[in-house]
């Protein structure tokens, strides 16, 4: 699913503020393009109509090697009103 112009601006702004030095994990390139929005996948094909229909992931694609990084748009402030607060604890491995 393609992003609207407003969604692209919001995502790009968030990326600049939070991931300004992002390097591709595979090729170390810093050249990226914004990809598509991904809808949630259904684990049980019989329950397709019961799931959410809002996109949950946004793609960022490396222009050099096509590696894809996914971002949870539900956590991006400005995507939906204020975004979803993250109540989970940070885990360090």
Average pLDDT over residues 56-81: 91
> Over pLDDT 90: what percentage of the chain?
54
| Model pTM score | 0.74
Q: How confident is the model over 18-55, as pLDDT tens digits?
A: 998 999 999 999 999 999 999 877 666 666 555 556 77
Domains in the chain: boundaries: 5-75
Buried b (16+ CB within 10 A) or exposed e, 45-77: eeeeeeeeeebbbbbbbbeeeeeebebebeebe
């Amino acid at each position: 699913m393609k992003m609207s112009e407003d969604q692209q601006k919001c995502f790009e702004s968030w990326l600049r503020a939070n991931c300004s030095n992002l390097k591709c994990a595979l090729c170390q390139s810093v050249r990226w393009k914004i990809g598509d929005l991904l809808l949630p996948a259904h684990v049980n094909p019989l329950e397709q109509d019961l799931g959410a229909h809002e996109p949950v992931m946004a793609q960022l694609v490396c222009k050099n090697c096509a590696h894809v990084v996914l971002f949870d748009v539900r956590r991006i402030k400005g995507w939906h009103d204020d975004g979803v607060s993250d109540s989970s604890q940070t885990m360090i491995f």
